[in-house]
Amino acid sequence: MAERMIMRILLPIVLSMVALAREATAQEECAAERAAMVETIRAYARSDSAVRPQGLSERVLEAMGRTKRHLFTPERTCSIAYADRPVSIGHGQTISQPFIVALMTELAEVAPDHVVLEIGTGSGYQAAILAQLARKVCTIEIIPALAETATKTLKDLAYDNVSVKLGDGFVGWPECGPFDAIVVTAALGQVPPPLIEQLKVGGRLVMPVGAAYTTQQLTVVEKTAAGKTTTRAVALVRFVPFTRSKN
């Protein structure tokens, strides 16, 4: 009788301890790899002329450090997810290497009150980074399977200020804008005019400009007034091609 009583008392305690241990393990999952990734980004930024002399802003680095990149990759492997290289997510698409994600985010100059448009949701990783820096993120994906997976992942991870739309990113998302910043994660030979129209005066668009399967120019377009922009090339990059709707 006494043993049963002790077990009744101890069992909830043991179960609670197991739950806490699992939670702690989950919190620490890939923590070392994620920290190493941030330090690699920091080192690259200091030596890269495309970034400010003092490197990337701490806001961007902190967002990179908080975001569990492995949860946005198919294999969810720490060593693969946090290496500074692109990761395949199927359908001929990739998550960009961490440094490029950080660089594009920095160049967009996202502020806490901004509304941001992303073209090319992919797995949702770039949207998750932007969501921590902006008031609202609207992101468009043309591949149905990726749009569905990204929507679920972002929802499961409580990125509640992100809206995902299945559609052709070339035409943008006027109902969600106008936008303070636009980030395009696929290469095209020109900046889509509808995106410039949906960009606020004073806003920035960051995208790779160039032909598919070649080296492209990571380009920053600033809208200085209605119908007027300035453009500068920042770095050489290689992105997957911009996909258009066939309809």
| Per-residue pLDDT tens over the stretch 154-213 | 999 999 999 999 999 999 999 999 999 999 999 999 999 999 999 999 999 999 999 988
Strands 115-119 and 162-166, how do they pair?
unpaired
Q: Is residue 194 part of a domain?
A: yes
CATH number of the domain encompassing residue 74: 3.40.50.150
How far does the chain reach from its first CA to its final CA, in angstroms?
74
Q: Is residue 122 part of a domain?
A: yes
Residue 211's domain comprises: 29-237
Dist. CA 78–CA 83, nearest whole Å:
8
* pTM exceeding the 0.85 threshold for the entire prediction: yes
Q: Is residue 56 part of a domain?
A: yes
Q: Is residue 17 part of a domain?
A: no
Strands 179-184 and 199-209, how do they pair?
parallel
Q: Is residue 3 part of a domain?
A: no
Strands 216-225 and 199-209, how do they pair?
antiparallel
Residue 21 has pLDDT above 50, yes or no: no
Q: What is the mean pLDDT of the chain?
A: 89
By the 8 A CB rule, do 143 and 243 touch?
Answer: yes
Dist. CA 237–CA 32, nearest whole Å:
28
- Residue 144 has what pLDDT? 97
Mean local confidence (pLDDT), 56-79: 95
Q: Is residue 12 part of a domain?
A: no
Catalytically active residues are 96
Domain total for the chain? 1
| Nearest C-alpha neighbor of 237 from the set 214, 220, 221 | 214
Mean local confidence (pLDDT), 143-163: 97
